[in-house]
């Protein structure tokens, strides 16, 4: 029986959870190149325990970020459920920015390819499908510029997350994202009420 299909012992499960929580903190603050020994230290386990549970950095990244990347799918689906297509676009962008502005690792995972992280890549494909539908709906309703592309929205989110990283005021991105949304709106009325 493969190791993954056997239930973990209680102590092994606890170590796994500690490692994943530490990885979220360290990767979130320092990015995906953060030292693995720092993650093990923060989890209170030996580096060997980390490698025993996650033999490669890619496996640790996949286990750490597959669920958070999946939140993007939920954000997109909730935005699609908004009765007003423009409000859906705004909701998608603002909620995505809120996630990315506080998590450097999540931004990296969403903007780079991780072929050795199948959970992340599957979540990104589902997220993209929802985003394409969200953009098409807004364009069909005439509220999003005709030349807007689905990739414009994640790029705006990434730019806003970079602003949050560089500014002393972590919410400064909100001002900048209003400018971006104003530029994406087809009828040029004030883009957001947020």
Domain boundaries, position 172: 64-194
pLDDT exceeds 70 at position 39: yes
Q: pTM for this one?
A: 0.80
Contact 45/18 with Cβ under 8 angstroms?
Answer: yes
pLDDT band of residue 1 (cuts 50, 70, 90) is very low
**Pick from 11, 120, 138: nearest CA to 64:** 120
40 and 18 belong to one structural domain: yes
Please determine, for residue 41, whether its predicted confidence score (pLDDT) is greater than 70. Answer: yes
Distant-in-sequence, close-in-space partners of 184: CB < 8 Å, separation ≥ 6? 89, 144, 145, 148, 152, 156, 191
The answer to whether residues 91 and 177 belong to one domain is yes
Interatomic CA distance for residues 117 and 109, integer angstroms = 10
What confidence category does residue 7 fall into, taking pLDDT thresholds of 50, 70 and 90?
low
161 plus 187 within the same structural domain:
yes
Judged against a pLDDT cut of 70, whether residue 99 lies above it is answered with yes
Domain boundary among the residues 9, 36, 55 is at 55
**97 and 162 inside one domain:** yes
pLDDT at 194: 45
Render pLDDT for 53-74 as a digit per residue (tens, 0 to 9): 999 999 999 999 988 888 888 9
Specify the pLDDT at position 162: 78
- pLDDT at res. 187: 72
Alpha helices in 9-117 (DSSP H): 10-30, 36-43, 47-53, 57-81, 85-100, 104-111
Torsion of CA 127, 141, 101, 34, to 10 degrees: 30
Domain match, 95 and 147 both: yes
Distance CA 6, CA 105 (A): 29
Domain boundary among 55, 82, 101: 55
Number of domains in the chain: 2
CATH code for the domain of 6: 1.10.10.60
Kindly state the DSSP code that residue 178 receives in the 8-state scheme: H
Mean pLDDT for the chain? 87
**Do 15 and 80 share a domain, yes or no?**
no
User: Would you say 119 and 62 are in contact if contact means Cβ atoms under 8 Å apart?
Assistant: yes
pLDDT at 6 over 80: no
- 42 and 130 share one domain: no
The percent of residues in the chain predicted with pLDDT above 70, rounded, is 91
123 pLDDT more than 80 = yes
Instruction: List the CATH number of the domain containing 187.
Output: 1.10.357
Judgement on whether residues 48 and 93 belong to the same structural domain of the protein: no
Are 137 and 169 members of one domain? Answer: yes
User: In this structure, what token pair is assigned to residue 75?
Assistant: 């954000």
Three-state SS at 113 = coil
């Amino acid at each position: 029986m493969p190791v993954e299909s056997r239930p973990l012992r209680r102590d092994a499960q606890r170590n796994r959870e500690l490692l994943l929580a530490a990885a979220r903190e360290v990767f979130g603050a320092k990015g995906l190149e953060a030292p693995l020994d720092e993650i093990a230290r923060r989890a209170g386990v030996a580096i060997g325990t980390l490698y025993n549970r996650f033999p490669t950095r890619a496996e640790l990244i996949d286990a750490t970020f597959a669920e958070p990347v999946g939140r993007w799918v939920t954000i997109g689906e909730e935005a699609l459920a908004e009765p007003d297509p423009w409000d859906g676009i705004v909701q998608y962008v603002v909620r995505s920015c809120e996630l990315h502005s506080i998590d450097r690792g999540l931004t990296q995972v969403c903007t780079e390819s991780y072929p050795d992280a199948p959970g992340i890549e599957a979540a990104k494909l589902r997220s993209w499908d929802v985003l394409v539908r969200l953009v098409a709906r807004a364009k069909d309703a005439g509220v999003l510029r005709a030349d807007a592309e689905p990739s414009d929205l994640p790029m705006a989110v990434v730019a806003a997350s970079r602003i949050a990283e560089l500014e002393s005021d972590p919410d400064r991105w909100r001002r900048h994202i209003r400018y971006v949304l104003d530029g994406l709106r087809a009828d040029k009325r004030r883009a957001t009420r947020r």
